[in-house]
Amino acid sequence: MNSKVIEKFKLSGKIAATALQHGAKMIKPSVKLVDVCDAVESKIKEMGGDMAFPAQTSINEVAAHYCPEEDDETTYKEGDVVKLDCGVHIDGYVSDNATTVDLGNNKELVKASRDAVNAAIKIIKPGVKLSEIGRTIQKAIENLGFSPIKNLSGHGIGRFIIHSSPSIPNFDNGNNHALEEGQSIAIEPFASTGAGMIYEGSNPTVFMIVAKKPVRSLFARQILQDLQQYNGLPFTTRWLSRKHGIGKTKLAIRELLKAGIIRGYPKLPDVKKGFVSQAEHSVLVFDRPIVITKLE
């Protein structure tokens, strides 16, 4: 990892952190979810960044991947635990960060995931075992009486890559693989009042191209042509429907899914409907790690 790459990572992280903070300040009762996601994405573009993935805002028992469509009228409510997750790339170099906003009486739950990500950052350096990171996250969350979500994890990030190895566990999974100098990773603890396990819901609105194949309909070909601009990174139906219309977009998405060209990423609720908090930072691994998504 040379100095030019580091600077691109750092710029993407600064933009992502600024956009996340901008969106988090908007999260209040009666505000529409779609308005917050639009504002986050507008801030990213205004600052010269490109979308690494669609801004997502998940409420209460949903840990991640809720991305509103353009006609979504859902609003935040008193008592909600609200996650906000956004990512940026500069010349493909991806940063990923998330935060939780408490609209009720869940300060300790929010603190658990924040404590966990901060504790993990303190031990990040080359040679640290993944199991040790997981153990540190688990301890911070359990110290406050909550459960880490074990089937969600942090991950590597790269050039036009959102999720790659290594997988950064949120509990001690016994993995003795060690971090290496120059790796770029996202640390992503989730704390839950419920089962500490999630399942895949239905009706995804976030998708990613996974194969190149011919398609039959003109609609699907037009949509597929538009998707090339994202360089294999995730996209959402909202981006497409504002150009092509909701009906046409849904028809094309259905065809692309059936053909195996794209796959969906549905929302991820806690198995026992427990409330979930999330915190996330992107880090470059050195003896003195660089947390690219922390604002000065």
Catalytic residue positions?
Answer: 85, 96, 155, 163, 188, 280
The C-alpha atoms of residue 213 and residue 83 are separated, in whole angstroms, by 35
Q: Is the peptide bond before 214 cis (omega within 30 degrees of 0)?
A: no
> What is the H or E stretch that residue 24 is in?
helix 3-26
Cβ atoms of 139 and 115 within 8 Å: the answer is no
Per DSSP, what are the bridge partners of residue 50?
89
Looking at residue 44, its amino acid is I
The C-alpha atoms of residue 19 and residue 41 are separated, in whole angstroms, by 7
The C-alpha atoms of residue 289 and residue 277 are separated, in whole angstroms, by 25
DSSP secondary structure of 60-90:
TTEEE-----TT---B--TT-EEEEEEEEEE
The C-alpha atoms of residue 70 and residue 55 are separated, in whole angstroms, by 13
